[in-house]
A and B are shown apart, each in its own frame.
Chain A
Amino acid sequence: MEVTKVTNATRVFKIGEVETKALRGVNLSVEDGEFTALVGPSGSGKTTLLQLIGLLDKPTTGNVTINGQEATNLNRNKRADLRKNAIGFVFQFFALIPTLTAYENIEMPLLLNGMKAAERKKRVNEMLEAVGLSDRAHHRPDQLSGGQQQRVAVARALATNPKLILADEPTANLDTENGKQVMDIMKKLNKETGVTFVFATHDPRVIGYADRVVTLQDGLITKDSKTNGKS
């Protein structure tokens, strides 16, 4: 089943009189359970494509569906609802709320989903255990290493059991060891829970984990290949 489908998507940014075509007509379909890497040089459109799939932005033309639901023309609130229920995000800069502990950061999307307290507690503890941070539950982001913060971000992205996780350069600010740990966890969760991962990267070590690699250049998909990603 298609988790997301992008059809003829273009995205044009206009700054003053200057138009920049970030995407020039992209078609992409991602199936349930895939571990897909979007690769390409800077400015190729990877991040823009992730933002369209993540409903953080709207295409200038074209369509985006999430779990078969047409999402392009949804209003802000409906897009927020769809993000809350169906999509998890991992950003390059360990995007955690600095005033909340690791536990509370993971808890936040569950609170937005209206999950009951007891259930929430159980789920947060499960996620902390899954990313190996049970002993750091009550630490704030500034008391965690970069790798630990990114693992909290992964746990938060997965907390609501979304079908799709979007990760933008998830290892870009991590050293080799921490980068490997984060990718291992993401891959493990992909295998164990079947959650779909789409991540943008130009780190060759990360690309090695993917079982599908989509290459973008100048706003177009130039190559789409299946690989035998690391398990």
Chain B
Amino acid sequence: MSQTFKLAFRNIGRNKTRSLLSALAVAVGMALLLLMASVMEGEMRGAMQNSIRLQSGHLQIRPASYDENKISLKWEDLIENPERVVEKVTSLPQVTAATPRLIASAILTLSDQSKGVQILGIDPGSAANEPFQIGLLDGQYLQAEDREGVLIGQTLADKLNLKVNDKVNLLMTTSNGDVDEQLFTVRGIYSTHIPSYDESTVLMPIAKAQSFTATENHASTIFVLLQNQEQAEPVAQALNTSNLKVLTWREQNALITQFEDFAGVALIFFYLIVLGITATVVTNTLVMAVFERTREIGILSAIGMKGRGIMAQFLTEAALLATGGVIGGLLIGGALVAYFTVYGIYIGDYGVTGMLFEDHIYAHLTLQNTLSLTIVTYIITLIASLYPARLAARLEPVEALHGLGA
């Protein structure tokens, strides 16, 4: 075994440039896949985390009849006295924050422009709404008793050229079916780094949202954050009642999971294409080596090395090339992933309905992706070397020695 390894190692070193280029092909292929997998992981992870922190929470409690696509303001579709529900939910030890939210559709109008938006009535003091406070770029954060102020997202502000203290008109249909409009002051501009969200979501204190929409002491949902997202299912079961339904982050973000599954399949095709190209390079290198070393194969065969020994020799060389390639791939890929983990890739407003993609995708490397790619690269390289290895093993000694004048 050590002799096979020694011979393989030296054979690799015989044509250093060719071996280096072959290992580099493996390395570049692997680095590319590592980056792709990390970017995909980062994108999906980011979308899920964004949804949890801004939209779905770990849990959402809604009236059984509430349909989020209709954004109903009918009292029967809303939670009455949401504070009571919040009080009950926050008494559970797994819950870190729970807050009522009222959601309504509106049209924001300026003198010469209008834009469809979603009003989100929030409790500014709740820890669950910290992302808006942290994301405040300009102006002031909302106060619970403010009856005229709203926060708008940066994208909306940029598109409508709005600044802090500008006035905007919001027009909406209330729960009674009446059309109402009021003038609001832009108290502040926030950014969640999600252009689609920042363009469409106008925040106001929930008390004002309730009076504006004539929903009195009602909320659309209770937004709940837990200590650990894996606790969502048992807590949901504990909170389930006949007139309220509790949705977990998994149920609410099924689209992201589906998208992730789809992306996973697409990634496998990408893996196959890249590794297929890499495999071709390895096969080519080893086939050339077989033809160059036909005499030596004949000599080894003549002194009694069996076909499987010759095959093992070429497989060992392939494994060494793969090792070099994998190490190089981990180094190159690791460096690329590290860069894009910190700086991200700017994608701008990559709007997919129901998905909260940030304007940057940040790579996220997982141990599972690293291990699976390392193993897959090894396996593909070894499969690629099977043909040349078998070619060498099947050479008849007399044919292999032909070049010796035998």
Contacts from A to B (Cβ < 8 Å): 47, 50-51, 54, 56-57, 76-77, 80-81, 83-85, 88-89, 91-93, 95-100, 104, 107-109, 111-113, 156, 168-169, 172
Residue of B295, B309, B397, B406 touching A168 (CB-CB under 8 A): B406
Task: Tell me the bound Cα distance from A6 to B132 in angstroms.
Answer: 95
Among the stretches B104-112, B277-285, B296-304, B350-358, the one at the interface with A is B296-304
Cβ contact within 8 Å between B306 and A77 = yes
Cβ contact within 8 Å between A92 and B307 = no
Most buried by A among B14, B305, B309, B396: B305
Cβ contact within 8 Å between B3 and A51 = no
Task: Tell me the bound Cα distance from A95 to B13 in angstroms.
Answer: 20
Tell me if B272 counts as interface (CB < 8 A to partner A).
no
With A56-B401, A80-B304, A99-B14 known as contacts, the answer to whether A112 contacts B406 (CB < 8 A) is no
Main secondary structure, interface of B, reads helix
Residue of B295, B305, B397, B401 touching A112 (CB-CB under 8 A): B305
Most buried by B among A80, A83, A88, A172: A80
Q: Which residues of A have CB within 8 Å of B296?
A: 97-98
Q: Which residues of B have CB within 8 Å of A54?
A: 302
Q: Which residues of A have CB within 8 Å of B398?
A: 51, 56-57
Q: Which residues of B have CB within 8 Å of A81?
A: 304, 306
CB-CB contacts of B305-317 with A at 8 A, as 1s and 0s? 1110100000000
Task: Tell me the bound Cα distance from A54 to B298 in angstroms.
Answer: 13
Q: Which residues of B have CB within 8 Å of A172?
A: 405
With A91-B401, A97-B7, A98-B296 known as contacts, the answer to whether A47 contacts B307 (CB < 8 A) is no
Q: Which residues of A have CB within 8 Å of B405?
A: 47, 91-93, 168-169, 172
Cβ contact within 8 Å between B10 and A112 = no
Shortest beta-carbon distance from B350 to chain A in Å: 54
Task: Tell me the bound Cα distance from A156 to B305 in angstroms.
Answer: 14
Task: Tell me the bound Cα distance from A85 to B7 in angstroms.
Answer: 22
Task: Tell me the bound Cα distance from A88 to B401 in angstroms.
Answer: 15
Q: Which residues of B have CB within 8 Å of A107?
A: 3
Task: Tell me the bound Cα distance from A111 to B307 in angstroms.
Answer: 16
Cβ contact within 8 Å between A95 and B295 = yes
Q: Which residues of A have CB within 8 Å of B401?
A: 56, 91, 95
Cβ contact within 8 Å between B304 and A95 = no
Q: Which residues of A have CB within 8 Å of B295?
A: 93, 95
Cβ contact within 8 Å between A80 and B305 = yes
